[in-house]
Amino acid sequence: MQPTRLYLVRHGQTDWNLAGRLQGQTDIPLNDTGRSQAEEARQRLSGVQFDAVYSSPLSRAVETAVLVSGWPADKVRTDERIKEIAFGDWEGKAPRTLGDDFAPFFADPAHFVPAPGGESLPALMARVSDFVAYVKQTHRGQTVLAVSHGAALHALLTAELGLAMKDYWSVGLGNCAAAELELEGERFVLKSTSGPTSANYLEKYLK
């Protein structure tokens, strides 16, 4: 049997990414730079044949999935479990304006407390882990693409790779970066990353 591989790709840039605003589950579309980033990711992954393509239902992820995979939109399966974290009352705001309330999100994830209407990191990790379990069960011996978001993908990696919460952001996926995972036994292991790494989150968002 062929190995089971899962490629994780973060969506391309949006205007809110550029402005440093928290998007969460607000449906902000790609900008032209984001579309170019997705085309570049398609070139980097051009040798990979996908058996299934999944996306967060948010349009920035769906469009990225279409551009990266070359699949038509109606063949891309959207899955709520890989939607971005809900920031609740903080959506649309710049983290630096939220002060100490938001700071642990990047600086000390283990002690992050969400805003009203927001989602905790453990809850996010649970739902993305449920998606990973589904992939393992449904796509044995296949190669799967999943296009999602910064916090959601880092939650997936933290949970599946068994990282400490202090290392939540350690892989560093920039817009349209890709991480290749391969199933070894019952867990995925990280084989490689490609594309832009994220800027230091503390520098970008909190200072």
pLDDT of residue 141: 98
pLDDT at site 123: 98
Q: What is the pLDDT of residues 29-65, one digit of tens each?
A: 999 999 999 999 999 999 999 999 999 999 999 999 9
> Phi, psi (5° rounding) for residue 96?
-65, -20
Residue 46 has a CB neighbour count (10 Å cut-off) of 9
Catalytic residue (one of 11, 111, 139, 154): 11
The yes-or-no answer on residue 11 being catalytic is yes
Q: Kindly give the parts of the chain with pLDDT less than 50.
A: 202-207
- Tell me the whole-structure pTM to 2 decimals: 0.95
Residues 111, 139, 149, 154: which is the catalytic one? 149
Q: What was the pLDDT predicted at 199? A: 53
111 is catalytic: no
pLDDT at residue 196, rounded to an integer = 85
Q: Are 91 and 24 in contact (CB under 8 A)?
A: yes
Edge-first strand order for the sheet with 187-194 is 77-78, 52-55, 143-148, 5-10, 178-184, 187-194
Q: What pLDDT, on the 0 to 100 scale, is given for residue 154?
A: 97
pLDDT the model gives residue 65:
98
CATH number, span 5-206: 3.40.50.1240
